[in-house]
Amino acid sequence: MPSARADSQTASRDADEVKSQSAASNASSATKRKRGMEPKFYAVKTGHKPGVYSSWPDCQAQVKGFKGATFQSFPSQAEAEAFVNGSAEKARSSTPAKFYGVQHGRVPGVYTDWPSAQTQITGWTRPKYKAFATRAEAETFVKEGNGKNAGEAVANVAGDAEAAAANKAAAKKKQKTIAPVEEVDEGPYEPGTGPLPEDAEDGFDPRIWLNPETGKVEMKSEEQLNAKKKRPSSDTTGVLKIYTDGSSLGNGKLGAVAGVGVYFGPGDDRNISEPLVGSRQTNQRAELTALQRALDVAPLHRSVEIVSDSNYSINCVTIWFQTWRRNNWQTSAKKPVENKDLIEPLIARIEERERVGVKTTFTWVKGHAKDGGNIAADTLAEYRD
């Protein structure tokens, strides 16, 4: 009888465990379904206005056009705020532990934190590593690597300094004797959050991009990586020379049409060829507008020399304006200064540049002569619809 009672109790416990496991499985499935419906929080750590945003368009507005922007999406506002405040590690503390298997690096083995694993692969030629949920999986991955010392490296990671030094020496020797090992596509971090490559500029990984369709940071395709990008070939620290010109067909007559030309150099994306805005289509207004457009595009931190064939425009912004400003923008004949609406903003821009310590100089050149820059600016100014 005692034996039968014991069997009955055991069966009862087994049944309870099955029910408990089934309930846990159902709860887990329900949780996964709920998580899929949760909103995303977009954290902008470096951008126009750092903060946490609840929609992708709001986040995109803060990072678009901002060099070196840092941002990431999170399932909770707390994690997003931790990322913005620089305490992302605290936010990650609640996530399950990871085991990082380094199959090919300075000291192959299993590591329980990413900084330690990162030390073994950063700067190493073609490292091979992967993150696992369990130590056993990580150890198996390391043992599958080339070289007979791979199994020993698993045990030696947690050993003393002498063992680590010995493994490091062995790894260096093995690097010279074995063939390159293929990289593992699946790394321990999502795109944009792992170690930066050696060719990174201003803290930005050139291998990633922001996909506007999905709102996610993704690795670039081979085509994107190999695409040629225009880079300035001239000096970017000295004085920037800019040629400007204005043109008006039928100047001074009804129906006149004027254009603006600004020339930075051959094939330069900053070159400007556009119509003059406004109802007064005069040659003088086109020349002044060309000066303004040149300063709109020129870097604020860099001194510029603007070359123009308009004595009128140069005198307006270098000599005459001083008297006009003292006389409340009136001429000696007590009449309003012509084109004040263009001259005054130009002076403000030049003085703004002076306050940051850069110069804006103007040089006159004879128009329609042999100066290549002036000829190019004149061609750009002949804009017609």
* Structure tokens given for 366: 């004879």
Cα distances (angstroms) measured from residue 109 to each of 106, 125, 167: 10, 17, 10
Q: How far apart are CA 90 and CA 106, in angstroms?
A: 28
pLDDT at 262: 97
What local confidence, expressed as pLDDT, does residue 79 receive? Answer: 84
What is residue 93's DSSP assignment?
T
Q: CA 79, CA 89: separation in Å to the nearest integer? A: 9
Return the structure tokens found at 183. 């990289």
Average pLDDT over residues 16-38: 48
Q: Is residue 284 over pLDDT 90?
A: yes
Mean predicted lDDT score pLDDT of the chain: 77
Q: Is 242 helix (H, G, I), strand (E, B) or coil?
A: strand
b/e burial code for range 256-266 (CB count within 10 A of at least 16 → b): bbbbbbbbbbe
Condensed to tens digits (0 to 9), the pLDDT of residues 140-199 reads 988 887 544 444 444 444 433 444 454 555 555 555 544 444 444 444 566 666 677 776
Provide φ and ψ at 274, rounded to 5°.
Answer: -150, 160
Rounded Cα gap, residues 235 and 218, in angstroms? 34
250: phi > 0 → left, psi -120 to 50 → alpha, else beta; which? Answer: left
Q: Indicate the range of 16-20, 234-238, 317-321, 366-370 predicted with least confidence.
A: 16-20
Quick one: what percent of the chain has pLDDT higher than 70?
68
In terms of average pLDDT, the best of 2-11, 146-155, 162-171, 336-345 is 336-345
Q: Which of 2-6, 298-302, 333-337 has the lowest mean pLDDT?
A: 2-6
Provide the 8-state DSSP code for 329.
S
H-assigned helices in the chain? 2-37, 56-63, 77-84, 88-92, 114-121, 135-143, 150-156, 161-177, 222-226, 283-297, 311-315, 321-326, 340-355, 372-381
Higher per-residue pLDDT: 363 or 202: 363
Does 209 score more than 90 pLDDT?
no
Residue 117 confidence class, pLDDT cut points 50, 70, 90: confident
- Choose between 326 and 189: higher pLDDT: 326
Residue-level pLDDT at 297: 94
Contact 207, 272 (CB under 8 A): no
